[in-house]
């Protein structure tokens, strides 16, 4: 079964300095039909105004992935990342950041640019074990690694150089244009989710545009073709 959700059907919040589309119920947006999919709990498409950001706040027992599309996102946390001696915490396009909240972490996210909006996806996946030690990881994935194929960028086993998440899930990213195409085999007993980040692409024969998504259940695979400057995320998720 494949279910389409158009971009304009998502929740939307305009805080002035922050404009956010919510794929699933989040904060002031509540839709009982969209509480998550499998163990995927949040996809927020955020645009942060120059010189603004999220002040220090806490999370626990969640795998949080930041995927920057344009601009830069500066991260700082109480594990020392973003400070002298820790990882730089600056996330540019092409990098994927994973933060395991575990027993609890405090962090902030900021757009320090004076003239550029930061556009990024904030993704939450429920962990398969609670109460782990908090952790942080950030890796770069070159354009060539995603061109015309699906590159694992976050996975439980960290395969193919992906950041390691403590969850029964794999996140793939791909870039498709023209004749480029790719296929991913799925276990029909699991769930999958496809989110078009930008451009347009056909997924299992269904034309999708930026912000559109497909929920898949009982399907044996995902096929992507006829991309037009498309960037796509595919999630292989727990049942």
Tell me the per-residue pLDDT of 187-211, one tens digit each, with 9 for 90 and over: 999 999 999 999 999 999 999 999 9
**Token representation of residue 57:** 């706040």
Q: How much is the pLDDT for 231?
A: 98
Domain 2-237 has CATH 2.130.10.10: no
- Mind listing the pLDDT tens digit for each residue in 171-183? 999 999 999 999 9
Read off the pLDDT of each residue in 14-42 and give the average, rounded to a whole number: 97
For residue 199, what pLDDT is reported?
A: 98
| Res. 88: pLDDT tops 80 | no
* Tokens 């002035």 belong to residue: 16
pLDDT score of 200: 98
Structure tokens at 122: 């904030």
Q: What pLDDT sits at residue 83?
A: 65
Label residue 87 by pLDDT band (50, 70, 90): low
pLDDT on residue 182: 98
Q: What is the pLDDT of residue 121?
A: 98
What pLDDT is attached to residue 85?
A: 52
**pLDDT averaged over every residue in the chain:** 95
210-225: pLDDT as tens digits: 999 999 999 999 999 9
Per-residue burial over 118-134, b = 16 or more CB atoms within 10 Å of its CB, e = otherwise: bbbbbbbbbbeeeeeeb
Helix (H, G, I), strand (E, B) or coil at 83: coil
Instruction: Assign 84 a pLDDT band (cuts: 50, 70, 90).
Output: low
Tell me if residue 7 falls in helix, strand or coil. helix
pLDDT at residue 45 greater than cutoff 60: yes
pLDDT, tens only, 47-73: 999 999 999 999 999 999 999 999 999
Cα 161 to Cα 47: distance, rounded to the nearest angstrom: 28
pLDDT at 86 (0 to 100): 54
* pTM for the full predicted model: 0.95
């Amino acid at each position: 079964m494949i279910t389409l959700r158009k971009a304009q059907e998502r929740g939307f919040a305009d805080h002035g300095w922050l404009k956010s589309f919510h794929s699933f119920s989040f904060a002031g947006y509540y839709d009982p039909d969209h509480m998550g999919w499998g163990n995927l709990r949040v996809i927020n498409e955020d645009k942060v105004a120059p010189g603004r950001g999220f002040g220090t706040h806490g999370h626990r027992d969640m795998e949080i992935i930041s995927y920057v599309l344009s601009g830069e996102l500066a991260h700082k946390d109480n594990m020392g990342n973003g400070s002298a001696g820790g990882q730089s915490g600056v996330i540019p396009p092409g990098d994927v950041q994973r933060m395991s909240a575990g027993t609890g972490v405090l962090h902030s996210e900021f757009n320090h640019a004076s003239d550029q909006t930061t556009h990024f996806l904030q993704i939450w996946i429920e962990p398969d074990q609670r109460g782990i030690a908090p952790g942080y990881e950030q890796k770069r994935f070159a354009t060539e690694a995603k061109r015309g194929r699906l590159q694992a960028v976050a996975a439980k086993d960290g395969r193919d150089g992906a950041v390691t998440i403590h969850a029964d899930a794999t996140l793939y990213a791909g870039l498709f244009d023209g004749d480029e195409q790719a296929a991913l085999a799925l276990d029909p007993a699991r769930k999958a989710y496809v989110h078009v980040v930008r451009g347009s692409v056909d997924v299992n024969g269904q034309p999708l545009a930026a912000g559109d998504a497909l929920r898949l259940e009982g399907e044996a695979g995902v096929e992507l073709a006829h991309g037009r400057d498309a960037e796509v995320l595919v999630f292989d998720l727990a049942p």
